[in-house]
């Protein structure tokens, strides 16, 4: 079990903490890009060739946002698969014994639901671009995994959006829980995942 010099509590290993914060940072960029690009593509008012106002702006910026969202989403999926492989083989430090079992149970439920969505949401995104044949990423054509079907694409993206919103809700709950542990309950749960410079394994 990895322990830090300063605290006599079991903490996540350096690898687990790296995975956690990289995925957290990428998700913090990915979700706003997703909402903003869809706003630009569907809602933002631009002008057509005749100078008339139209909904939806498909310029280089919108295109770059879509390409970035796809590339980043695939990167997140790969990182989460590696992270899950690591988690399932290496386990996690035992739970903070000062936290009541019911609370620990809820936190585990939230963590595993987040993992599930971190896999399902990007796979849904890839399925959606495959059905819709929206496979271009900065001029590179990704391989499609299903035959073209625009109706299916639309349906899959409904679930993609719903999944992303549930993920956002769970992450908000998760961050709220971290604030609760740190400032209200004043236990050491958050220290388990904080980046530290020196580790003693």
- C-alpha 163/C-alpha 125 separation (Å) is 10
- C-alpha 33/C-alpha 4 separation (Å) is 37
- C-alpha 131/C-alpha 152 separation (Å) is 6
Q: What is residue 192's DSSP assignment?
A: G
Determine if 120 is a binding residue for ligand HEM (CB under 6 A): no
- The residue (of 4 and 129) whose beta carbon lies closer to ligand HEM is 129
Paired tokens of 34 = 């997703």
Candidates 43-51, 55-63, 72-80, 144-152: pick the segment binding ligand HEM (CB under 6 A). 72-80
Of the candidates 65, 34, 58, 30, which has an alpha carbon nearest to the alpha carbon of residue 44? 58
Helix (H) or strand (E) holding 62: helix 60-90
For the bound state, the minimum distance from the C-beta of residue 101 to ligand HEM, rounded and expressed in Å, comes to 13
Candidates 1-9, 45-53, 54-62, 114-122: pick the segment binding ligand HEM (CB under 6 A). 114-122
- The residue (of 4 and 189) whose beta carbon lies closer to ligand HEM is 189
Determine if 65 is a binding residue for ligand HEM (CB under 6 A): no
Helices 101-132 and 60-90, interaxial angle, to 10°? 140
Candidates 2-10, 51-59, 125-133, 144-152: pick the segment binding ligand HEM (CB under 6 A). 125-133
Reduced to 3 states (helix: H, G, I; strand: E, B; else coil), residue 137 is: strand
- C-alpha 97/C-alpha 6 separation (Å) is 18
Determine if 189 is a binding residue for ligand HEM (CB under 6 A): yes
Member of 134, 136, 166, 185 binding ligand HEM (CB under 6 A): 134
136-137/45-47 β-pairing:
unpaired
| Cβ atoms 83, 19 nearer than 8 A | yes
Determine if 178 is a binding residue for ligand HEM (CB under 6 A): yes
Determine if 73 is a binding residue for ligand HEM (CB under 6 A): yes
Contact letters for ligand HEM, residues 11-50 (x by CB under 6 A)? ---------x--xx--x--xx--xx--x------------
Helix (H) or strand (E) holding 65: helix 60-90
- Note the residues at the interface with ligand HEM (CB under 6 A): 20, 23-24, 27, 30-31, 34-35, 38, 69-70, 73-74, 76-77, 87, 92, 107, 111, 114-115, 118, 121-122, 125-126, 128-129, 134, 157, 160-161, 164, 167, 171, 174-175, 178, 189-190, 192-193
């Amino acid at each position: 079990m990895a322990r830090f010099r300063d605290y006599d509590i079991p903490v996540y290993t350096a690898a687990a903490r790296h995975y956690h914060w990289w995925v957290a940072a990428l998700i913090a960029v990915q979700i706003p890009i997703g909402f903003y690009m869809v706003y630009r593509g569907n809602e933002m008012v631009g002008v057509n060739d005749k100078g008339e106002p139209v909904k939806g702006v498909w310029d280089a910026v919108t295109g770059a946002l879509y390409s970035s969202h796809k590339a980043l989403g695939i990167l997140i999926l790969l990182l989460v698969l590696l992270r899950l492989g690591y988690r399932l083989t290496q386990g996690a430090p035992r739970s903070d014994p000062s936290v009541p079992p019911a609370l620990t149970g809820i936190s585990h439920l939230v963590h595993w639901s987040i993992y599930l969505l971190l896999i399902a949401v990007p796979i849904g995104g890839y399925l959606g671009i495959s059905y819709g044949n929206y496979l271009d990423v900065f001029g590179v054509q990704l391989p499609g995994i299903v035959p073209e079907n625009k109706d299916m694409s639309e349906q899959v993206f409904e679930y993609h959006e719903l999944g992303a919103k549930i993920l956002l809700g769970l992450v908000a709950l998760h961050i709220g829980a971290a604030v609760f542990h740190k400032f209200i309950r004043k236990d050491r749960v958050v220290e388990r995942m904080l980046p530290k410079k020196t580790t003693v394994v």
